[in-house]
Amino acid sequence: MGAPTRGLLDALHSPLNVRSLHLRNRFALAPMTREMSPTGIPVAENAEHYRARAAGGVALIITEGTYVGGEASGHKVTVPHLTDPAADGWRKVVDAVHAEGSAIVPQLWHVGALRGTASPLNPGVPPQSPSGLDLDGRPLGEPLTTAEIDAVVASFAEAAALARRIGFDGVELHGAHGYLLDEFLWHRTNQREDRYGNRTVLPTEIVKAVRGAVGDDLAIVFRFSQWKADHYTERIAETPHDLESLLVPLVDAGVDVLHASTRRHWLPEFPEDDPTLSLAGWAKRLTGAHVITVGSVGVDTEFRGAGAAAEKVPVVIRESLEERLELLAEQFDAGEFDVVALGRALIADPAWVEKVRDGGLERVVPFDRTRHTLSGT
């Protein structure tokens, strides 16, 4: 695969402590939906999957999206839940990861309008969304009532409290990719005329409720993005000021770590304001919070889906893998992020972190879509 990488990412092997998160290095497993939990309850395969990545050197495991309570929160039968029936299954996962010396947080998820009208999970239950609109702004179902919003807030708090009881080291709230919390943050899908028309009100209410449910010491991570599922050019913020107005209230409400989900971590987010600063870098500059970066780290192709064709960008990443790892190290040295999450690289090779640390990039198993299947959350 090219030049040795020994020492290249040494700085990322320093420890980090954020409230209840005690990390031996700065590498995380990104959340990726696998649909490997029959009936929504984690099984032995799930525990082994996460344990293997922890054993391979990953300090922070972020689970795939886990549905919070409520019949409309999810859309697929084999995606895990974080409700009482799944608690014993999750304890086995947590114990397996802790035995390898790593921390683990569940990603709490409500899919919102992306549930659609033909979901196999709880068929016949309509989708929930801020304004009864899909990601194209077309009518889909009915807007959430205030009572339904209260129930959603409670479902996140209940899932977070359960996560603490199970033994998780924190929680991540999924506020990205066009799912429910992101639908409130995005002007196209949030057309409400009540107080929830203020795009940060519902997400900050959920953060506050989660903080109240887990106490002062448990870490809260919030994943956000500009892009949406199959809408890769969409944005919640056109300027740094827009981004600041969305992220600062979340941090003020209790978020400790912002997880800036991008598809290419090396690209500048607002090049007219700063020619090099990434989305993660802007999140850190604007809020002072700890930040996770992510986006095609350690792989030769960008994350792509059905909506990528409209972007008119090359499928193959132009820079070599070594050059992008050098850039990643430079971004870390510049203080743009605190933790880097890897997705497909760790699906293909659970020992990616250890191999790269030891200079063995040529020994890394490369991601191959024909052999390694997943979908991002």
For every residue of 278-308, DSSP letters joined together read -HHHHHHHHH--EEEEESSTT-SB----GGG
User: Which residue segments constitute the domains of the chain, with CATH numbers given?
Assistant: 10-376 (3.20.20.70)
By CB atoms closer than 10 A (0-12, 13-18, 19+), residue 138 is exposed
Q: What is the pLDDT of residue 207?
A: 99
**pLDDT value at position 315?**
46
The pair of structure tokens assigned to 345 is: 């690289």
pLDDT tens digit sequence for 47-91? 999 999 999 999 999 999 999 999 999 999 999 999 999 999 999
Q: What is the pTM of this model?
A: 0.94
- Closest by Cα among 281, 311, 315, 279 to 299: 315
Q: Which residues pair with 16 in a beta bridge?
A: 23
- Model pLDDT, residue 1: 42
Which positions are catalytic?
Answer: 179
CB contact set of 304 (below 8 Å; sequence gap of 6+): 263, 315
Specify the pLDDT at position 306. 45
DSSP 8-state secondary structure symbol assigned to residue 52: H
User: At 213, is the secondary structure helix, strand, or coil?
Assistant: helix
Full pLDDT tens readout for the chain, 377 residues: 445 567 889 999 999 999 999 999 999 999 999 999 999 999 999 999 999 999 999 999 999 999 999 999 999 999 999 999 999 999 999 999 999 999 999 999 999 999 999 999 999 999 999 999 999 999 999 999 999 999 999 999 999 999 999 999 999 999 999 999 999 999 999 999 999 999 999 999 999 999 999 999 999 999 999 999 999 999 999 999 999 999 999 999 999 999 999 999 999 999 999 999 999 999 999 999 999 999 999 988 665 554 444 455 444 566 788 888 999 999 999 999 999 999 999 999 999 999 999 988 889 998 886 676 655 56
